[in-house]
Amino acid sequence: MRTQPNIIVTGTPGVGKTTHCETLAQNTGLKHMAINDVVKSRECHDGWDKEFGCWIVDEDKLLDVIEDEVKQGGYIIDWHACEVFPKSWIDLVVVLRVDSTVLYDRLKARNYAENKLQENLDSEIMEVLLQEARDAYDEEIVVELRSDTAEEMENNIERIESWITNWKKNNAAEKEQ
């Protein structure tokens, strides 16, 4: 049984996953696991997709590589996809959302090519990742949070931190029973 929860922070690129995860990791001691870095550094891929500008992820290898660590608990998993992780590993799924004009500006600032930018904007508008999270996990563990402004981010961080505190309390109580 885990003594610390595992949380997925997901959402369209540019929505604020890295920023949220880094702050949460600093404040809570949970570990930030950026899946993009894992895929690259531990070679869980079949090469680079030039058209989409991303790694072609070998999901089986990815799960094999992270399984022992994640099963111990205490990870904040940061990725634009979430359905690949087994339900039994995950305690909370946070789907960050952002206004499309704000997202446009953020991706533009990152010099995204026009086709990639448009694809991500469409994905955000169509709620693709929210739907994916709702399809893959029980609805009570999926939380949608807005990330347009710094103030919203602060509120989100506070909310997730109190969720973690409660999870630990409930978990400790369950263990004693």
* Nearer Cβ to ligand ADP (35/72): 35
| Token code pair at residue 22 | 């880094």
Coil vs helix vs strand at 37: helix
Strand 45-49 relative to strand 92-97, pairing? unpaired
* Nearer Cβ to ligand ADP (88/111): 111
| Token code pair at residue 70 | 């994640």
> Can you list the positions of beta strands (E) in 20-105?
31-34, 45-49, 54-57, 75-78, 92-97
Q: Does 15 contact ligand ADP by CB under 6 A?
A: yes
Distance in angstroms (rounded) separating the CA atoms of residues 63 and 59 = 6
* Nearer Cβ to ligand ADP (83/168): 83
Q: Does 153 contact ligand ADP by CB under 6 A?
A: yes
Interface segment toward ligand ADP; rule CB under 6 A; list 15-23, 69-77, 112-120, 136-144: 15-23
- Smallest CA-to-CA distance from 129 within 96, 104, 153, 85 is with 96
Distance of CA 76 to the CA centre of its chain: 7
Could you say which of 35, 130, 147, 157 contacts ligand ADP (CB under 6 A)?
Answer: 147
Q: Does 152 contact ligand ADP by CB under 6 A?
A: yes
- CA–CA distance from 143 to each of 40, 70, 83, 110 (Å)? 28, 20, 15, 27
Measured torsion, CA atoms of residues 166, 80, 153, 140, in degrees rounded to the nearest 10: -30
Q: Does 13 contact ligand ADP by CB under 6 A?
A: yes
Q: Does 106 contact ligand ADP by CB under 6 A?
A: yes
* Nearer Cβ to ligand ADP (163/167): 163
* Nearer Cβ to ligand ADP (44/103): 103
Could you say which of 14, 95, 130, 157 contacts ligand ADP (CB under 6 A)?
Answer: 14
Total number of residues binding ligand ADP (CB under 6 A)? 14
Annotated binding site: 14, 16-19, 110
Binding site for ligand ADP (CB under 6 A): 11, 13-19, 106, 147, 149-150, 152-153
